[in-house]
Amino acid sequence: MFALSSAIGRRLTAGPGSELVVHWRRGADAYRPQMADLRAAGADRMVLDLGEGALDAEVVALAAEARRAGMVAEVVAAPAAGWTAEMVSELREAGLARATVRLALDAGPSHPRRPVWEPSEGAARAVDAALQAGVATGVGVRLTRNSTSRLAALLEWVERSGLHGCDVAHVMPEGRLDWRAQLTLPGQTRFALRTLATAAWDWHQRRLPARIRTWHGPADPIFVYIWCLRHAPEQAPAALAAARAKAAGWPDVAWIDPLGNVAAVAGVPALTLGTVGRRPFSDIWLDRGRAGWQRTRALYDDVGAPCAACRWSSLCHGGERARAMTDLSLGGPDPGCCLTERETAAAG
Ligand code: SF4
């Protein structure tokens, strides 16, 4: 399978052999992850989301603890202060497997006919430091109505910089609360996914070691499958298998916010599963009979039209429920669905 994948999948029960990623967001008085507890819940990968935070001794200690517990550790940050190669090297020695630098695609000069874009100096330095330290390095961006047109410029820069890839989100987990401002239109979403698929396929054919991952929504892998049918048919079976595996693996990401609230669907406070300050994460995550899990499951059981009649509903389960709040109804349609009516119509 060429290296375009979606990080988001949905299903109502956990599938066998799936990977559980714990995404922990650091805050001022944050809950500090207890790695043995996360591992006891089946976590394979620990993403330390540092916000604008620096790479300090606590981050080094957390990476080392994750490795000792048998997990792969990653950091994600938008470094305001500079990272140095020495700092990242220390982290790599402690067990860091990957560093993702968040970039602001909205910032900087541009031209309506030929969108141009360059990262901020601090972000570019952080990328250089991570590359020098020899960790797998990528960048993460959030697409908005105003920044989608810069995607091609970003991809050019990623390739020029020799990076290992990029994560592209339309609504990043921490951005869910301001999703109204961030939401792109379905047409822009399709444009963005087409651009990403084309770049991923091009990089794959040129044997470049790059991967592109989208965080837009559960319909992304289906878009990739349909794109493959049209443009790279030999990849289509693998794309469909990836979409099925992703759907079977749900819930495959556990979100822990700075207050310690745990969720399988980020950004909807009513779907909080529990708080790690009060109960261990493993208890919250594995006890599927509790009210939070029942509410989460009910949300997907009650999805209405058009998702209920969609031919892909067994893989997508109604798209991104946080976005359905556009209609003030969690059971309503996902307004960011990237597929056309023709693509979602039941096979006749
Ligand atoms: S219509 Fe709904 S279920 Fe179908 S692909 Fe779009 S979001 Fe998913």
Residue 324 phi, psi dihedral angles, 5° rounding: -65, -15
The H or E element spanning position 221 is helix 220-231
Distance of alpha carbon 155 from alpha carbon 202, whole angstroms: 11
Taking a C-beta distance cutoff of 8 angstroms, is the pair 254, 264 a contact?
yes
Residue owning the nearest CA to atom 1 of ligand 1:
307
Answer whether 76 contacts ligand 1 (Cβ < 6 A): no
Answer whether 8 contacts ligand 1 (Cβ < 6 A): no
Nearest-atom number in ligand 1 for the CA of 311 is: 4
| Cα(290) to centroid(ligand 1), Å | 27
Residue owning the nearest CA to atom 6 of ligand 1:
337
On the 0-12 / 13-18 / 19+ scale of CB atoms within 10 A, 10 is buried
3-state DSSP call for residue 76?
strand
**For the CA atoms of the chain, what is the radius of gyration?**
19
Taking a C-beta distance cutoff of 8 angstroms, is the pair 107, 154 a contact?
no
Residue 336 confidence (pLDDT): 74
| Residues in the chain with pLDDT values less than 70 | 1-18, 30, 80-81, 108-115, 169-186, 322, 324-330, 347-348
The top-level CATH class assigned to 4-287 is alpha beta
Q: Which two tokens stand for residue 145?
A: 């109505």
Nearest-atom number in ligand 1 for the CA of 306 is: 1
For the chain, what percentages of helix, strand and coil (3-state, to nearest 5) are there? 45, 15, 40
3-state DSSP call for residue 345?
coil
**Beta carbons within 10 angstroms of residue 208's beta carbon:** 18
Residue 279 confidence (pLDDT): 93
Kindly report, residue by residue over 301-323, the tens digit of the pLDDT: 778 778 888 999 888 888 877 67
Pairing of strands 136-142, 165-169: parallel
Answer whether 334 contacts ligand 1 (Cβ < 6 A): yes
DSSP code string of 81-144: SPP-HHHHHHHHHHTEEEEEEEE-SS-S---SSS------HHHHHHHHHHHHHT-EEEEEEE--
| Cα(220) to centroid(ligand 1), Å | 10
Answer whether 51 contacts ligand 1 (Cβ < 6 A): no
In order of 97, 140, 183, the CA distances from 326 in angstroms are 37, 25, 10
Residue 109 confidence (pLDDT): 61
| Cα(344) to centroid(ligand 1), Å | 7
